[in-house]
Chains A and B, each alone.
Chain A
Amino acid sequence: MTRTLAPLVGAALDRVDGARKVAGAAPYPNDVRYPDLAYAALVRATISAGRVSGIETEGAEGAPGVLTVITHLTAPRLSRGPATSIGPQPTPPLQGDRVDYDGQYLAVVVAGTREQAVAAADLVEVRYEVDEPVLRTEDPRAEREENPWHFDTTRGDPAGALRTAEVRVDSTYTTPHLTNNPLGPFTTVARWDGDDLTVHDSTQHTANTRSALAGVFGIPEERVRVLAPFVGGGFGAGLRSWPHVTVAAMAARVVGRPVALELTRPEMFTGTGGRPSTVQRIRLGSTVDGRLVAIDHHAEYPAAMDDAVRYRVTPRGAGAYACPNFAARDVQVRLNVPPTGHMRAPGTAEGLFALECALDELAFRLDIDPVDLRLRNVAEVDPENGRPWTTTGLRECYRVGAERFGWYGRSPAPCSMRDGHRMVGYGMAGVTFGWTMMPCRAAATLHPDGTATIATSATDIGTGTYTILTQLAADLLDLPPDWVRVELGDTRLPKAPAAGGSGLTAAVTNAVQDACRNLLEIVRNGHPRGTDVRAEGASAPPEREDVAPSGAFAAVFAEVRVDPDLGELRVVRLVTAVDGGRIMNPKLAASQIIGGTVGGLGMALMERTTPDPGSGRIMNANLGDYLVPVHADVPDVDVLFVGGPDPLTPMGVKGVGEVGVVGVAPAVANAVHHATGRRLRALPLTVENLL
């Protein structure tokens, strides 16, 4: 083995788990097998509101291979696990006869094989007393909660400033309900050994699944082990411990065997959250030379009857534009819909779609270039508290992105650019993303053979955590990367926060750095030969009164072509410039931004979870009817990183998991306006709106 001593942090190392992934050898939760594994199949409600008046299970119980059928009449009584930073835990399943949404779990059938379980689940007969569901936010019966999570803010006198503003924009935007649809169907394989519970789970947060299950079953956390070394994507769907996780553990306890519960694709639409639909009204006031004097942002979005997550649509600090008068209000409306959750850049993607489109409307009204309008209003300090950002590369994002894209070759008037028959449009959007960091622990162990192991309970859902921790530890311990082993996704390892909120990389790299420092300290002080040396380390969000911790910044530029006769819209080019602080691995970080961009393209062009207006049932709960981007939809995506390490934490990273999604839909919508003169204020931007 030759020692490579070049700094690996910042290098484009290949993904260390790549060889396993290309071989099909990375174990996802649904790859876990036990010799006596039983299979579970769910029975779901087919009404959106009412109660179960009868449930016949005899047929299913007598079917071949069936071990048990559990309903609300026979299920053990459960508690609700402890709330977390993202809100309360979901309602425990099978605890009563009330039905609050179509798709709610009413029974689980467990059998020796999956075919037997699925066939028997079909034999369960449910009778209902049906209520009239509340399905629309305008329904007068709907319960409205203003300022549900205490994020509303008012600064200055927005109403007065709007009245006196020289130029005003007043527009309403809508975004649809979206479903995360990670490609790996969420699976829980649960196994009890006395009072000890082991679950293999599709989660982005092993520690949360553990505390949720411990709370639900009333057992100490130490008795629950959650494993998620590989997860088939999440995009936020894995941030909560959903009811099926509890059902799987309950079923395993009842049958006294390990049980696998794999959600079907249709079940993924009702059982793992999603991005709620929104209606947003934005009012902007400006001077004639493009200085913002007022922003008033009002958002309404649905939540399930008995389950809501902490959520915020109106972006923090109005998307970080310098504006003296500002108001942001969120209203949450309770409907008979499946529980909402988090989808990559939750709230921010919807809120900034509206704000960035409204700014484009203002730029057009003022006849100011959209980039210049944003540059005139960049917030040099955090508008929420007046503190200076720790770093901001936002201006640099605009400059570098515009240059790479060739933005200034744009002729400003709508409908003024053509490629033969087709209309050409350029559009852009700016992004100021929030900062998140949660406490994290990690361990570093040096083995007698000179290799090292880094361990933390964090998950790598495709973000690259295995790889960047390998790079970091190799640098700090002065080892070649293949001498470093990284263990993740196991609650027996030191406790890490969620792979979510773009906050894991900052938390986990700083914790690993601390662990490696502590390890080297022990080694320097001398230690017995021939034994493992282990040290733990920790990180916590710095408490600073003098600065505003900055998240990532970005600028997105899109070029579209629209066929004037057919209304066909193609996005032909996307450029994203990102300030993500220190980039641990440019190859993997670019993959994050490309992936986010593709997600944003889905949001812009095609994705929409469609409920039946009468019944509330989701009509397109499969990947044939719920459209997502495919190879043929995706153009070249150019990613540029600007800026450098952020001084807030030793590692200087900001997190790039979500920022890539956010600006795409508004950039595309703004490009459509430039191409066609049509201002589309509803996502997705579909052909029927362009005819």
Chain B
Amino acid sequence: MGPGVREPTTTVTVNGARLVANLDARVTLLDALRDRFGLTGTKKGCDQGTCGSCTVLVDGRRVLSCLTLFAQCDGRQVTTIEGLADHPLRAAFIKHDAFQCGYCTPGQIVSAAALIREGRAGRDEDIREYMSGNLCRCGAYPRILAAIREVASGAHA
């Protein structure tokens, strides 16, 4: 590594597992997850904070991991799609065919999980509004809405 590039020691808990790494200070949380920790479920759609496909939870809040430096996450809890293995949204997305290519899907599910937990998924208008940071270029929106609505209302099971 050349002069000027720092490699701070960062300790992060990802999906319950404690990870310690010394990475180039320029590495984003997204690239750390994907390139260094093999957690490729979190997707890069733009690397510019405009598509939502890289959404993860940091200390329970939705964060765009492409705009977050890995080193900033020292001491924090990160949850990715891999950490939501039992979430009912997964089954609801399949049932409602809430995706096509599937590339936006991890980000949609992570966002929706937070939305439901925050109690902001009660009305269709709210879901549409609060999910608008998660683009789906395949245009699965009406079906993503149906899947989220079903889980939020507790109608799944």
Contact = CB atoms under 8 A, between A and B. Distances in A.
B48 A622 contact: yes
A233 B101 contact: yes
Interface string A639-681: 0000000000000000000000000000000000000000000
Given A23-B81, A265-B45, A631-B129, A233 B137 contact: yes
B42 to A, nearest CB: 7
A597 B142 CA distance: 11
B85 interface: yes
Interface string A486-503: 000000000000000000
B19 interface: no
A630 B135 CA distance: 6
B100 A30 contact: no
Interface string B48-77: 111101000000000000000000000000
Contacts of B46: 185, 265, 622-623
Contacts of B95: 14
Nearest to B28: A115
Contacts of B141: 598, 629-631, 634
Nearest to A260: B35
Contacts of B137: 181-183, 233, 235, 628
Question: Which of under 10, 10 to 19, 20 to 34, or 35 or more describes the interface residues of A?
Answer: 35 or more
A436 interface: no
Contacts of A27: 40
Interface string A220-231: 000000000011
B131 A461 contact: no
B90 A24 contact: no
Contacts of B5: 64
Contacts of A596: 139
Contacts of A628: 135, 137
A119 interface: yes
Contacts of A629: 139, 141
Interface string A591-609: 1101111110000000000
A108 to B, nearest CB: 18
Contact of A31 (B40, B100, B132, B135): B40
Interface in B89-112: 89-91, 93-95, 97, 99-106, 109
Contacts of B49: 624
A658 B47 CA distance: 29
Interface centre among A24, A184, A235 (most CB of B within 10 A): A24
Contacts of B103: 28, 182-184, 232-233
A594 B45 contact: no
Nearest to B94: A18
B101 A14 contact: no
A463 interface: yes
B1 interface: yes
A396 interface: no
A422 interface: no
Given A114-B35, A230-B102, A119 B45 contact: no
Contacts of A22: 81, 89-91, 93-94, 99, 102, 105-106, 109
B14 to A, nearest CB: 13
A63 B2 contact: yes
A394 interface: no
A15 B96 CA distance: 10
Give the dominant DSSP class at A's interface. loop
B128 interface: yes
B139 A23 contact: no
B82 A185 contact: no
B150 interface: no
A624 B45 CA distance: 12
Contact of B45 (A115, A183, A235, A462): A183
A570 to B, nearest CB: 12
A599 B138 CA distance: 8
B120 interface: no
A461 B101 CA distance: 5
B143 A24 contact: no
B142 to A, nearest CB: 5
B48 A265 contact: yes
A75 interface: no
A369 interface: no
B43 interface: yes
A232 B101 contact: yes
A402 interface: no
B31 A114 contact: yes
Contact of A462 (B50, B51, B53, B102): B102
Select the residue from B48, B142, B143 with max chain A CB neighbours within 10 A. Answer: B142
A163 interface: no
A231 B101 contact: yes
Given A183-B137, A462-B138, A591-B140, A21 B102 contact: yes
A636 interface: yes
B57 to A, nearest CB: 14
B100 A24 contact: no
A632 B105 contact: no
A234 B50 CA distance: 19
Nearest to B80: A24
A631 B27 contact: no
A535 interface: no
Contacts of B1: 64-65
Interface in B5-35: 5, 24, 26-27, 31, 34-35
Contacts of B48: 265, 622-624
Contacts of A463: 100
A18 B93 contact: yes
A417 interface: no
A24 B45 contact: no
B152 interface: no
Contacts of A623: 45-46, 48, 50-51, 135
5 contacts: A18-B97, A230-B102, A262-B44, A599-B139, A631-B129
Given A21-B102, A24-B40, A115-B27, 4 more contacts: A22-B102, A22-B105, A232-B45, A630-B135
Interface of B: 1-2, 5, 24, 26-27, 31, 34-35, 38, 40-51, 53, 80-82, 85, 89-91, 93-95, 97, 99-106, 109, 127-129, 131-145
